[in-house]
Structure 1
Amino acid sequence: MDSQLFRKYFSGKCNEEECKEVEKYISSHPSIVDQFLEAGWGRSTEEISTEVSTKLKNNLYRSIAQESEVIQQKAINHFSFLKIAAAIALLIAFGAGLFYVYNYRNQVNEQWVRIDNQGSKIKSVSMPDNSIIWLNANSSISYSNLYNTTKRELKLSGEAFFQVTKNHQKPFIVHSGNISTTALGTSFNISAYEKDQIVRVVLVTGKVAVDLKKSFNNEKRVILTPGKMIEFENKNAKWTSSMINTNSVTLWRNNKLVFVNELLPDALRKLARHYHVNIRFNEEELSHLYFDGTFESTEEKERVLKTVLSIYGLTYKTTPNGYEILKNKK
């Protein structure tokens, strides 16, 4: 039989008539086993399809059954039986080998791309699937060069707004700190700076699932609907959800400096990132205080700092490296 037809059969490219022809040949020619062992099938780079693999194994098993009947009627032919069994083992090993090589090749070729926004201006990134990501200041994303081949997955450090292209076969997954957010086609905001006490996810349109890497309150997944925000406290490993005005959360894309019910330490860190200065403070003393407010991103830093601190009667002093927050004066 034509070897080209065999190759088509093993790669699942035969039509119905060709498949029947090959299968008939295999059933009536046990010597095909010798060809398997001698023709160097292991050097093939084409994967045997699941359907063909199953058919071939069934044919080989039938050959064993037929051989067994002959054994009962005639002298035992150990060599023939072993050849067929060896072919089955070879087929199974061949499929496993292809699977290993495919995955190993992907691992070797996989590289991670990192995009940083170290400036004070907003950076927009167009992904290979046409999704768009807006990166806030001092934020970064990382994704594999295999992105959008079998999945859409990336890592976020900082804050970003995502406008995701719909693809139900390839969920869009963002890993940020202790949570991962999964979307199919939607828009949402994530704030997950490394040193902040709280990670926030706000859904603007569509629906997302937020998975928590650490189990708490007997819940590991939260489904968000538009206008809902989930906050994860890194220190206490707990979360809260609430409704929110999504416009206020995403104003930073319009060069606004926005604070939405933020812990004062996180608010001060945001100021430090925005103005590229060092702000020293006692985390424990301020961890119970919250701040809300909106400023122009170009507003003078000391004026903004005074406004934030004045609400709680706090002051600051200038240091060689930036500013130090002082306790309340009694």
Structure 2
Amino acid sequence: MAVVGQLFVNQIKGCYMDNDHLLILIEKYLNGEATATERKWLENWYASFDNSADWLREGAAEAMEITAELKQSLQGKLAGAAQLKAVNKQVFSLRRNRRLLWAAAIVLLLGSSVLLYRLLMPAGIMETVVAGAGPRTVALPDGSVALLQAGSSIRYDKKFNGDRREVLLEGGAQFNVTAHAHPFVVSSGQLSTCVLGTVFTIQAYPDTDSISITVLEGKVQVSKQQQVIGTLGSEDRLVYNIPTGAVARYHIQNSEVQCNNQTLQEIMALLGQWYGYTIQASDTTILQERYTGSLNRHETLEELLAILCEVNHINYEVDKKSRQIMLTRK
């Protein structure tokens, strides 16, 4: 564990007042506002629980009961240190163990988030798969198949124990899900996508400000912090804007995508999904250029790039060896 990360963990464990700091960091993490250093701290903090925090996993059920009591007296989820102090007061009034305070506060704040899933999963049974420079196919324990795009990764329970088949995704992937009584859930950033059996793709790269979900077959339900934000059928797409929380939906017809003033960032993420490439730009403002028109996935990558770049006065370069596309201003 990194020295800075270990010091942060020690501070959290050794000083109760630092709980405020931890909860604020966790909320920033969930809102996509944490810096790279803060994300590393949280990962180190979680890793420190591998052997010493069985109490958190074992006490999860009771912690959920505590949170139910707390929710009755709170107007919403924790928003920062002020709300946390109110929770602390009520927990102490219940004379609960400090460890259960941690569990209750974390469960209340995180809901069904990716970090809660990591905390409550038993240690030592998770599988992590990372795609390299090109796409990678992953056979999941239930017979489902994930096609990872270049540079993407997934993490999942090796045996899919429990009443949900859950996968943590960073990047882009297509999932061909085997029908099963237990729902299949993909957690990607702030969103969770739940299905029973279908084929769909998700784009959730950490360096972009949007998450897109496209259903090729079947039906999926998309949620944010347990609130449903959309139900998609075959050939539907949902695009979630992380900074604003805006949700856009549109339908794909006859292998075409209709773009209505979409940013190049959103469009390039789609092309990356179709052709297995990652996109880079010499100037971040390039990705904020917009395009209105149709894209046909039967056309070649070069044909689509030529159209998009000509309209926006941009040059492009395709590196087939590393499977990267570089965009530059003319």
TM-score, structure 1 length as denominator? Answer: 0.50
Select the residue among 281, 284, 287 that pairs with 1:282: 284
Q: What amino acid sits opposite 2:211 in the alignment?
A: V
Partner residue, 1:223: 231
Assess if the C-alpha contact under 8 Å between 1:133 and 1:162 holds in 2.
Answer: yes
Select the residue among 156, 176, 179 that pairs with 2:169: 156
Alpha carbons of structure 1 residues 148 and 236: separation in structure 2 relative to 1, 3 Å: same
Partner residue, 2:83: none
Alpha carbons of structure 1 residues 246 and 231: separation in structure 2 relative to 1, 3 Å: farther
Assess if the C-alpha contact under 8 Å between 1:140 and 1:158 holds in 2.
Answer: yes
- Rounded Cα–Cα distance in structure 2 between residues aligned with 1:228 and 1:171: 20
Q: Is 1:211–2:229 an aligned residue pair?
A: no
Shift of 1:299: 6.6
Partner residue, 1:183: 195
CA displacement, residues 66-91 of structure 1 (integer Å, 9 cap, x when unaligned):
xxxxxxxxxxxxxxxxxxxxxxxxxx
Any residues of structure 2 matched to 1:260-279 within 5 Å, and which? 263-267=263-267, 278-279=280-281
Shift of 1:211: 0.2
Unaligned runs of 5+ in 1: 1-105, 250-258
- Rounded Cα–Cα distance in structure 1 between residues aligned with 2:126 and 2:254: 32
Partner residue, 1:135: 148
Shift of 1:181: 0.3
CA displacement, residues 131-184 of structure 1 (integer Å, 9 cap, x when unaligned):
11111222211112342444200111122111111112x110000111100001
CA displacement, residues 94-114 of structure 1 (integer Å, 9 cap, x when unaligned):
xxxxxxxxxxxx955443211
- Rounded Cα–Cα distance in structure 1 between residues aligned with 2:137 and 2:240: 26
Partner residue, 1:126: 139
CA displacement, residues 26-69 of structure 1 (integer Å, 9 cap, x when unaligned):
xxxxxxxxxxxxxxxxxxxxxxxxxxxxxxxxxxxxxxxxxxxx
SS at match of 1:129: coil
- Rounded Cα–Cα distance in structure 2 between residues aligned with 1:275 and 1:287: 19
- Rounded Cα–Cα distance in structure 2 between residues aligned with 1:245 and 1:267: 16
Shift of 1:194: 1.6
Q: Which has the higher contact order (CA 8 A, sep 6+)?
A: 2
SS at match of 1:159: strand
Assess if the C-alpha contact under 8 Å between 1:203 and 1:225 holds in 2.
Answer: yes
Q: What amino acid sits opposite 1:171 in the alignment?
A: P
- Rounded Cα–Cα distance in structure 2 between residues aligned with 1:183 and 1:209: 7
Q: Identity of paired residues, percent?
A: 25
Any residues of structure 2 matched to 1:184-199 within 5 Å, and which? 184-199=196-211
Alpha carbons of structure 1 residues 297 and 111: separation in structure 2 relative to 1, 3 Å: farther
Alpha carbons of structure 1 residues 309 and 182: separation in structure 2 relative to 1, 3 Å: same
Assess if the C-alpha contact under 8 Å between 1:110 and 1:146 holds in 2.
Answer: no
Shift of 1:237: 0.9
Any residues of structure 2 matched to 1:1-330 within 5 Å, and which? 108-120=122-134, 122-168=135-181, 170-213=182-225, 220-245=228-253, 247=255, 263-267=263-267, 278-283=280-285, 286-290=287-291, 293=295, 307-315=307-315, 325-326=328-329
Assess if the C-alpha contact under 8 Å between 2:149 and 2:276 holds in 1.
Answer: no
Q: How many pairs were matched up?
A: 202
Unaligned runs of 5+ in 2: 1-119, 318-324
Alpha carbons of structure 1 residues 141 and 247: separation in structure 2 relative to 1, 3 Å: farther
- Rounded Cα–Cα distance in structure 1 between residues aligned with 2:146 and 2:251: 23
Alpha carbons of structure 1 residues 275 and 184: separation in structure 2 relative to 1, 3 Å: closer
CA displacement, residues 204-256 of structure 1 (integer Å, 9 cap, x when unaligned):
22221100239xxxx6332212222111011211101121137457xxxxxxx
- Rounded Cα–Cα distance in structure 2 between residues aligned with 1:156 and 1:238: 21
SS at match of 1:153: strand
Larger Rg: 1
- Rounded Cα–Cα distance in structure 2 between residues aligned with 1:316 and 1:123: 25
Shift of 1:314: 3.2
Alpha carbons of structure 1 residues 246 and 223: separation in structure 2 relative to 1, 3 Å: farther
SS at match of 2:225: strand
- Rounded Cα–Cα distance in structure 1 between residues aligned with 2:254 and 2:238: 12
Q: What amino acid sits opposite 1:226 in the alignment?
A: S
- Rounded Cα–Cα distance in structure 1 between residues aligned with 2:287 and 2:301: 24
